[in-house]
Amino acid sequence: MDDLNFNVDDIINDVNAKIKSAEKNEADEESVEAEPIADTENSSEDCEQADNTDEKPQSQETPEATDDKPGPILAFHEDKSEEDKSEEDEDKGPEKPEKQEKKSKSGKKKKKKRKKSKVNNSVFGGIILVIVILTVSLVLAVGGISIGMEYYGIGKTDEDIRFNIPAGSTNSEIADILVNEGVIKNKKLFMLALKFEKPAAIYPGDITLQPSSGYSEIIEKLSQMRESYKTVSITFTEGENLLDIAKKLEDNEVCTADDFLFEFNKNQGFDFENDVDDNGDMFYRMEGYFYPDTYEFYVNDSAGNVTKKLREQFEKKYETVKAKIKNSGMSLNEVMTLASIVQLEAASEDEMPKVASVFLNRLDDPDTYPMLQSDTTTNYIKNVIKTEADNTASIEHYTECYDTYKCKGLPAGPICNPGMAAINAVLEPKKTDYYYFCNNLKTGETFYAKTLDEHEENLVKAGLAKKK
């Protein structure tokens, strides 16, 4: 009912089919109950009745589920009453005296039983008719209210939705665009509204609409000449956090950073959002759920439109690894959190599967290695939490939740937005027995170690410590 794509005619047709079935069952019952006793003397009577039937052919009209109107229901009952009338005329017809005398007692009982069955079936049919009328009336009433609310935009958002209508689009294609963009819900209703409104033309180009406007106002705006909106293309790289992204959007005049952060961290109704943990300790709930890519935005667009575009892209990518995440034994939040660490810790994409194995080995042996000890988490605290947290108490709380030198296991949530290489590295890591690694910041070389002693030696090789 929410999408308003129901068809009352379909309900009526279904009801007609059920009534036809009931009629058939009734006819079958009557034919069995009225079956004459095997009697040679009654055979001539049967032939006579058959001849009378030929002389007075009964109407062959039957209710057909044609597709449209409740008419078949009325026609159905008219046919039934005519049938009953015909049968009554037959019962009242004159009989030959010898035939009346020779009728068996059992035959009389059969006829009485048949009449009783007719009464019961008539009552049953009346009950069905009442139920049908009430059901159809209820559906029509509720459907009418829902359609009215949809048509006038009642209860719908007044948020601006900006999109483009390509040149040469047909009315049907425009209706599909409106449905896909969330401006309207019912394509058929919109096409019907176009017939009534009869706009002179619908112009292509960029347009901003509000679902709450209602169909008439939407059609009016579609029929107006409009200017082309300025767009901007922005590339977001792997490893950027939401604060970085918000600032980049604001710098390019797409939307304000504050509006973006507020809108992006709300649920938008996408399927993958149901799999995102909400443990209450994440600084930005949707940190990590931005897929790095190049996007084209409208200048001075709404944060809601921007978020919708970004969500759609992430959900597409998520669907490609959804099965792997399920088979990994980790939650979506755990995968994205570890992937964000791997994204920032690995010197290159080639090293990501090995780096992932180091952290996974530690997570699998929490008694020996209770903490991951990743410097990237302390950087997140410094660059994001301490700059955006409201007060000292919040800073202290989130520091405890994100500092992998203090908290056990994974931090509360992702610390950046990883790319697909980092995500796949977590889902398909190398099989190693390493528990330590370090990178030469100048050469990009990565050194791995099984023990702390080996690790300390590697720190010297990487130029990160002096030889003792």
For the stretch 34-62, pLDDT in tens is: 444 344 344 444 434 444 444 444 444 44
Same domain as 311, residue 214:
no
Same domain as 215, residue 256:
no
Q: Is residue 465 assigned to a domain?
A: no
Same domain as 187, residue 88:
no
What SS3 state is found at 374?
A: coil
**Mean pLDDT, to the nearest integer, of 71-88?**
38
Q: Is residue 446 assigned to a domain?
A: no
Same domain as 273, residue 133:
no
Cα separation, 392 vs 385, whole angstroms = 10
Query: Does position 183 have pLDDT exceeding 50, yes or no?
Result: yes
CA distances for 39 relative to 90, 106, 307, 443, angstroms? 20, 12, 85, 111
Pick from 91, 90, 119, 93: nearest CA to 29: 119
Do residues 12 and 69 touch, judged by C-beta distance below 8 A?
A: yes
Same domain as 248, residue 317:
yes
Same domain as 283, residue 174:
no
Q: What digits encode the pLDDT tens for the residues 227-269?
A: 777 889 999 999 999 999 999 999 999 999 999 999 999 988 8
Cα separation, 457 vs 468, whole angstroms = 10
Query: Does position 153 have pLDDT exceeding 90, yes or no?
Result: no
Q: Where are the beta strands (DSSP E) in 313-454?
A: 436-439, 446-449
Assign 71 a pLDDT band (cuts: 50, 70, 90).
very low
Q: Is residue 38 assigned to a domain?
A: yes
Same domain as 167, residue 143:
no
Same domain as 186, residue 125:
no
Q: At what angle do helices 171-181 and 187-197 cross, to 10 degrees?
A: 130
Q: Is residue 466 assigned to a domain?
A: no
Q: Which helix (H) or strand (E) holds 125?
A: helix 105-152
| Residue 132 structural domain | 8-92+104-147
Same domain as 246, residue 168:
no
Mean predicted lDDT score pLDDT of the chain: 79
**Mean pLDDT, to the nearest integer, of 366-371?**
95
Same domain as 403, residue 335:
yes
Question: Rounded to 5 degrees, what are φ and ψ at 164?
Answer: -120, 140
Same domain as 58, residue 173:
no
Q: Is residue 459 assigned to a domain?
A: no
Q: CATH number, domain at 205?
A: 3.30.1490.480
Same domain as 317, residue 385:
yes
Q: In total, how many domains does the chain have?
A: 3
pLDDT at 3: 45
